[in-house]
Amino acid sequence: MRAMEFKAEIISGVEVGAKFGIATANLCFLEKKPDLKEGVYFVQIKVKDEVFNGILHFGVLKTFGRGFAAEVHILDFDQDIYGEVAEISILKYIRSTRTFLNADLLFTQIENDREKAEKFFCRRAIFQKWEMLKKKEKDSFSIQAIDKISVHKKFLETTDILIYAPQGDREIDFTKALMKRFSEKRYFFPKIVDAQMQFFQIQSFEELKVGSFRILEPEGLTRIFELKQKTLIFLPAVAADKKCFRLGRGSGFYDRFLNQCNIEKEQLKRRNLLKVDVYSLCVLPNFAILHTIPVQMHDQMVNEVLAVD
């Protein structure tokens, strides 16, 4: 579906945001006001034949007691574009506009919006690269991934494997073939139960059915995973960086799960019950391994990012 688009001239405003280091481009519509719900949006803005990513506020500026305004904060941008005509493409609605008790709370929210925007546009760029790939290139990724995992020390010495069903158009498809080649291992797949992610054992890939978020998951609640001495976790990822920070699908379930695993591991260690070895691994094509990715406080690092060409 084509994104909503409109044109506007960039004009000067009262520059409240600039005082907090968050400058915005104020918009004056060239035609009628767009038929758009008031709120905050991720957008792309085209100015002088260049396209930039940004966050649009469209509505009444409630915190400062001002009237309606449309203004865009352009990410990683410091050019003077006053008087230029911009083409705005609406990509995603983020939240409603609301009143904050003071400017500090407002700009804390804007910082949070900006962090989410950086992740959104990073995912979008990686997905666009996946869309450009041919089937034989994706198949090559799968073959290389299986070959590398098959000789990986952590995989060979571990019996309990926490794994996922890849989305074939945007992730390397290796799980089904890996399970067939190493059928002696125990494989656990995630399922959302009461808003929490839990892992359940299955015997074959064919047992998975389409579930939450249109992702394949165990249909019945079979043997649930319990933290053992050696566990290998394969985590889905859109991208990762050189420090092993991972950009996931966006729901945050795996970050919470990893955090809980770390807590349980430390508890077992303090009680001298088990020497637990939990190793986390992402499998990604080289184009999805970046120098750095946007990171928030809740984001968990993985032990290793396994790259394929």
pLDDT tens across 215-235, in order? 899 987 777 888 777 899 999
pLDDT attached to residue 106: 81
Mean residue pLDDT of the chain comes to 89
Averaged over 136-158, what is the pLDDT? 96
What integer pLDDT is reported at residue 13 of this predicted model? 66
Q: What is the pTM of this model?
A: 0.87
**298 - beta bridge partners?**
none
Strands 160-162 and 230-234 turn out to be: parallel
Judged by average pLDDT, the poorest of 75-84, 95-104, 107-116, 160-169 is 95-104
Q: Please state the rounded mean pLDDT for residues 145-150.
A: 98
List, in order of start, the domains of the chain with CATH numbers: 5-132 (2.40.30.30), 135-308 (3.40.50.10420)
Mean pLDDT in residue range 254-281? 80
DSSP H helical ranges for the chain:
103-132, 135-150, 153-156, 175-181, 253-270
Residue-wise pLDDT for 188-203, tens only, equals 999 988 888 999 999 9
Mean pLDDT, residues 94-122 taken together: 88
At 275 the pLDDT is 67
Query: Does pLDDT of 284 surpass 60?
Result: yes
77-84, long-range: CB within 8 Å, 24+ apart, which pairs?
A: 77/52, 81/10, 81/25, 81/47, 81/48, 82/10, 82/11, 82/12, 83/9, 83/10, 83/11, 84/9, 84/10, 84/47, 84/48
The proportion of the chain whose per-residue pLDDT surpasses 90, expressed as a percent, equals 62
CA distance 96 to 250: 20
- Look at residue 17 in the predicted model and tell me its pLDDT: 55
Give the pairing of strands 160-162 and 186-193. Answer: parallel
Q: What is the pLDDT of residue 273?
A: 57
The confidence score (pLDDT) of residue 134 equals 95
Q: Which residue has the higher pLDDT, 298 or 276?
A: 298
What pLDDT, on a 0 to 100 scale, did the predictor assign at position 274? 58
Looking at residue 18, its pLDDT comes to: 54
Average pLDDT over residues 155-163: 95
Q: What pLDDT digit, counting tens, does each position of 11-62 carry?
A: 976 555 555 567 788 999 998 899 999 999 999 999 999 999 999 999 987 6
pLDDT at site 84: 93
C-beta atoms surrounding 34 within 10 Å? 17
